[in-house]
Amino acid sequence: MLHIEKLTKAFGPNTAVDAVNIQVEESRMIGVIGRSGAGKSTLLRMINRLTDATSGVIHFEGREITALRGPDKRAWQSECAMIFQQFNLVPRMDVVSNVLHGTLNRRSTLATMFNIYPSADIHRAIAILDRLGIADHAPKRAEALSGGQQQRVAIARALMQDPKIVLADEPIASLDPMNAQLVMQDLRRIHEEDGRTVIANLHTLDTARRYCDRVIGMREGRVVFDGTPEQLTTGVARDIYGADASFSEDSTSTSIETLDRGLTRAVREAEAAV
């Protein structure tokens, strides 16, 4: 499905991503881990074509993604949605309009200028917000929502594109543990229920272990681990993070494991009721 071969990105003398090979044969939820500067964001940005590769190729379902130009490149960018740490919503715009922005690639400039959307799109946007438990917030300005709610709006915007792949760059790094868990559960659901491939850069080991089927460890631009959560032992983690003997799992760990399901459900219901 997704084939990445010898993908490389150099910024001057600095090689951010160094001859990376990744094969994804069927829909998966993949976590990418590694310390800051390992090349995780650059890798996702090349997959989405926000950044051009220096060399190497990406194929997706027979298409050479790295060679796409103009409208073909934009079509790929809507098939391959991106979610960011800082949500990237329009803060003063209402939630439903932010979600409708996910259809921007297929709308005319005039319709965009006057903020005109087909009613079918509006209904779909509301249905997606409802699925994520935040439909009640649809008329509010995005900036009025909590971080966790804003990230779910960003997920809704991504789903509006009906993407085959969802790329998430540190989607929970700015959230408290409880909201982090809600957002990871949403990403897991859109993988399991919709069959979409999710590739998420994650800054904590336990999140990758808990939610992903496969974990890719990057160090200095290279893939140094590619396996299951079970294979990701403390020794392997120490190697990925390049840490010395003082390395402790706690240093990359949040406490989200300790929150039980009942609590999560209570929080979601309380948030939806606001």
Ligand X SMILES: Nc1ncnc2c1ncn2[C@@H]1O[C@H](COP(=O)(O)OP(=O)(O)O)[C@@H](O)[C@H]1O
Interface residues with Mg ion (CB under 5 A)?
40-41
160 or 240: CB nearest ligand X: 240
Q: How far is the CB of 51 from ligand X (least distance, A)?
A: 8
Choose from ligand X, Mg ion, none: what does 39 bind? Cβ within 5-8 Å by kind: ligand X
In 3D space, the residue among 222, 229, 251, 226 whose CA is nearest the CA of residue 238 turns out to be 251
Around Cβ 84, how many Cβ atoms within 10 Å?
Answer: 18
39 or 56: CB nearest ligand X: 39
DSSP string, 140-194: SBGGGS-HHHHHHHHHHHHHHT--SEEEEESTTTTS-HHHHHHHHHHHHHHHHTT
Inter-residue contact 8 to 53 (CB < 8 Å): yes
Choose from ligand X, Mg ion, none: what does 198 bind? Cβ within 5-8 Å by kind: none
Window 22 to 81, contacts with ligand X (CB under 6 A): 34, 36-42
Q: How far is the CB of 203 from Mg ion (least distance, A)?
A: 9
Q: How far is the CB of 46 from ligand X (least distance, A)?
A: 9
Choose from ligand X, Mg ion, none: what does 42 bind? Cβ within 5-8 Å by kind: ligand X
Q: How far is the CB of 218 from ligand X (least distance, A)?
A: 7
Cα gap 122→151, rounded to integer Å? 19
Residue identified by tokens 């074509």 is 49
Extract the tokens encoding 123: 């209904």
Q: How far is the CB of 267 from Mg ion (least distance, A)?
A: 28
SS3 assignment, position 112: helix
The region of 10-18, 158-166, 245-253, 255-263 touching ligand X under the rule CB under 6 A is 10-18
Extract the tokens encoding 242: 């390049």
| Residue showing the smallest CB distance to Mg ion in the complex | 41
Inter-residue contact 168 to 83 (CB < 8 Å): yes
**Backbone conformation region of residue 221, classed left if phi is above 0, alpha if psi is from -120 to 50, else beta:** left
39 or 217: CB nearest ligand X: 39
Where on the chain is the footprint of ligand X (CB under 6 A)? 11, 14, 16, 34, 36-42
